[in-house]
């Protein structure tokens, strides 16, 4: 063991606007042996989603950004390779916020909590990093608890081919909603039409979103599930129906360029349309996770719910993976397979 | 009757930014006699509130702005001086959207609906133009139905000395909230402190609102009742507490300069704080008006609720009255007494 080096990505500088590979430095360090109470984990996959950008920006919800010279933040799953903690044994499949590195050590709580997970039949080992994890729970809570869809509601979903968006689209369709998806390239738009069966799909990079929305929902938008913020949020707010619910889930368009978030000038339509704009934090809904995973698991088993994994291989790919999700080049949940 | 002229304010041009007297033209026209089914009303008072600016701007909720050369929009009360409608008789006190003129004719529905009203003991004849009318109902519904205050909640109210704001402040205090008022001059701030008994009052023209709010509510804002929009909305959103409710009631800072509404860049705090921003349209809550007026009437009778009328005299004052409410020079509900 002691001859193996741990590849770790440190934050070497903060991006001014767009993240570049220069913001990170790859270092190799000797792996320590776990001390009493600790476990050593070999990371197998990390998941990369746009809000991770805030780890080297505003700091996100906590306001704590990664210090220069510290390990880049990130979550993943791995296998316990050496345990001196009675709750874990070698071979356990575990998940946690390991950071961008191949090996991690924890006592189960510090420096990060560790959770034991089990693979589910019919699903990839990595499912807990998306559909049976944070993305799945977010889609479930955001749709059912916040948006509260009714049969016949017109719902618009931005980043509709994304990790959360694609689940929202499919669940909303099952709830009897008319679903309009917005995405940023033709491959995604095709997939939303053909594989997810959405009747209306808008490519925001080549089409006029406002015009397309006016044509697709002449009576207005009942639910707007926002994953991107910026101009699309503003446009959607300009076309809401009476009593609309705007679910604030993400703001991918805003994570780069931390200083100047783009406020939606059409916010006052919330008054004219007696509408509600609500944000939520998925970890406050832990009591709903069991229901969410049961429902999502059933839908997957029945073939009623599909998802995409976009997998890069090798620890070297981590900065690229982040750049991919921020530019929208990824197709589905962005994973980086490490071992 | 036929020798009396009706003074009427027509819209002669649309303001680019700030309204000026030049946007209106005062004309005198012969009064018509009511035809069968119609009543002739002599307006006694008109009420001027900031959203009226949209009548010559975006058009507000309907999008219909007053056409050039047409009568300026506005609501008031008056006395029936001649009736050929069986539902109204000479001497009836009535209210309706008369427009900016001394005399108006209607069949009770067209060109505007007419409502019979009765003065209430202990209240001015004009009470239905504010505390026992739209402002009172707006404060009541906005606070109780939308914000849903709990004892101990910290509520921040902008335009706190205004027609709606002052009622919200007092009702919230009675509900056991800590009330922080924001206003634009020392006279208003003094009144909020001394007469309304608010512990914290911020003069947004001379003080740093963000700093004062941080000091006054170190644990964040539970309810922000927004009457102004713009920078103050943005600042408040930056300092909300977990589970905050932002009530969108008005946007006085935004009604001038129709093209460029200022979207709140801090809107994403709604995610971090699991907060809700909601607009409402008072006329959807007609079922609550009776309760509202009963409660407001009781509070006034008990001396627990006060309000200000700011009265200008004479039809010539109407454009000035609108400029006053938009600049915040008025102190309380702006009325123009016509006869």
For A335, phi then psi, to 5°, come to -115, 150
What domain range is A186 assigned to?
134-283
For B239-296, the DSSP string reads: TEEEEEEEEE---GGGSSSTT-----GGGGHHHHTT-EEEE--GGGGGGGHHHHHHHH
A20 and A52 co-located in one domain: yes
Question: Is residue A24 a part of any domain in this protein?
Answer: yes
Question: Is residue B290 a part of any domain in this protein?
Answer: no
Question: Is residue A324 a part of any domain in this protein?
Answer: yes
Q: Does residue B305 carry a pLDDT above 80?
A: yes
Question: Is residue A290 a part of any domain in this protein?
Answer: no
Count of domains forming chain A: 2
pLDDT single digits (tens) B154-188: 999 999 999 999 999 999 999 999 999 999 999 99
C-alpha distances (whole Å) from B113 to each of A18, B54, B102, B108 are 57, 21, 17, 5
For A43, phi then psi, to 5°, come to -70, 135
What pLDDT score does B313 carry? 97
Contact A279 B260 (CB under 8 A): no
pLDDT single digits (tens) A119-168: 888 899 999 999 999 999 999 999 999 999 999 999 999 999 999 999 99
pLDDT interval class at B3 (50, 70, 90): confident
Pairing of strands B221-226, A309-313: unpaired
Query: What percent of chain B is predicted at pLDDT more than 90?
Result: 91
Question: Is residue B164 a part of any domain in this protein?
Answer: yes
Contact B274 A281 (CB under 8 A): yes
State the residue for tokens 């600049």.
B327
Strand, coil or helix: A308: coil
Q: Does residue B121 carry a pLDDT above 90?
A: no
B213 and B124 co-located in one domain: no
For A55, phi then psi, to 5°, come to -60, -30
Question: Which candidate from A260, A264, A269 shows the least CB-CB separation from B267?
Answer: A264
A268 and A158 co-located in one domain: yes
Residues of B with CB under 8 A from a CB of A: 60-61, 229, 234, 248-249, 251, 254, 260-281, 284
What pLDDT score does A260 carry? 74
C-alpha B134: how far from chain center = 7
B97 and B159 co-located in one domain: no
Question: Is residue B139 a part of any domain in this protein?
Answer: yes
CA distance A124 to A23: 32
A15 and A146 co-located in one domain: no
Question: Which candidate from B264, B267, B281 shows the least CB-CB separation from A271?
Answer: B281
Question: Which candidate from B248, B264, B267 shows the least CB-CB separation from A271?
Answer: B248
Question: Which candidate from A249, A267, A280 shows the least CB-CB separation from B263?
Answer: A267
Contact residues, chain A, for B265 at CB < 8 Å: 260-263
Determine the residue among B264, B277, B284 to mutate to test chain A binding: the one whose Cβ has the most chain A Cβ atoms within 10 Å: B277
B138 and B21 co-located in one domain: no
Work out the minimum CA distance from A314 to partner chain B, whole angstroms: 33
CA distance A280 to B272: 7
What pLDDT score does B182 carry? 98
Q: What is the pLDDT along chain A (339 residues), one digit of tens a residue?
A: 457 899 999 999 999 889 999 999 999 999 989 999 999 999 999 999 999 999 999 898 888 999 999 999 999 999 999 999 999 999 999 999 999 999 999 999 999 999 999 988 889 999 999 999 999 999 999 999 999 999 999 999 999 999 999 999 999 999 999 999 999 999 999 999 999 999 899 999 999 999 999 999 999 999 999 999 999 999 999 999 999 999 999 999 999 876 678 899 999 999 999 999 999 999 999 999 999 999 999 999 999 999 999 999 999 999 999 999 999 999 999 999 998
* CA neighbor of A66 nearest in space, from A28, A103, A111, A12: A12
pLDDT single digits (tens) B317-328: 999 999 999 999
Contact residues, chain B, for A236 at CB < 8 Å: none
Contact residues, chain B, for A63 at CB < 8 Å: none
What pLDDT score does B258 carry? 65
ipTM of the complex model: 0.90
Pairing of strands B103-106, B39-48: antiparallel
CA distance A160 to B265: 24
Question: Is residue A289 a part of any domain in this protein?
Answer: no
Whether omega for the bond prior to residue A75 falls within 30 degrees of 0, making it cis, is: no
- The CATH number of the domain holding residue B99 is 3.90.180.10
C-alpha B312: how far from chain center = 16
Question: Which candidate from B265, B271, B279 shows the least CB-CB separation from A281?
Answer: B271
Token pair belonging to A95? 């998940």
Contact residues, chain B, for A261 at CB < 8 Å: 265-268
| Residue in B with minimal Cα distance to A59 | B272
């Amino acid at each position: 063991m002691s001859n193996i080096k741990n590849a770790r990505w440190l934050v070497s500088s903060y991006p001014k606007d767009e993240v570049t590979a220069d913001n990170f430095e790859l270092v190799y360090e000797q792996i320590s042996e776990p001390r009493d109470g600790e476990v050593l984990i070999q990371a197998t996959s990390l998941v990369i989603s746009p809000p991770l950008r805030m780890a080297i920006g505003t700091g996100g919800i906590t306001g704590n950004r990664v210090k220069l010279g510290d390990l880049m933040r990130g979550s993943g799953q791995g296998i316990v390779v050496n345990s001196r903690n009675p709750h874990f044994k070698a071979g356990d499949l575990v998940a946690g916020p390991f950071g961008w590195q191949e090996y991690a050590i924890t006592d189960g709580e510090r420096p990060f909590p560790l959770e034991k997970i089990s693979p589910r039949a019919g699903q990839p080992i990595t499912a807990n990093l998306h559909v049976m994890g944070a993305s799945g729970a977010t889609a479930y809570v955001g749709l059912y608890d916040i948006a509260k869809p009714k049969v016949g509601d017109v719902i618009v979903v931005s980043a509709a081919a994304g990790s959360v968006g694609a689940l929202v689209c499919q669940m909303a369709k099952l709830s009897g909603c008319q679903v309009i998806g917005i995405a940023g390239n033709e491959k995604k738009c095709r997939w939303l039409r053909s594989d997810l069966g959405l009747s209306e799909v808008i490519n925001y990079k080549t089409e006029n979103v406002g015009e397309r929305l006016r044509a697709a929902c002449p009576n207005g938008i009942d639910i707007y599930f926002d994953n991107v913020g910026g101009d699309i949020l503003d446009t959607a707010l300009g076309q809401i129906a009476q009593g609309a619910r705007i679910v604030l889930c993400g703001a991918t368009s805003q994570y780069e360029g931390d200083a100047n978030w783009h406020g939606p000038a059409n916010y006052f339509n919330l008054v004219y349309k007696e509408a509600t704009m609500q944000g939520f934090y998925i970890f406050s809904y832990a009591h709903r996770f069991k229901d969410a995973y049961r429902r999502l698991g059933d839908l997957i088993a029945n073939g009623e719910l599909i998802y995409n994994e976009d997998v890069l291989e090798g620890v070297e790919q981590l900065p690229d993976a982040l750049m991919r999700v921020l530019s929208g080049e990824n197709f589905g949940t962005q994973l980086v397979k490490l071992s």
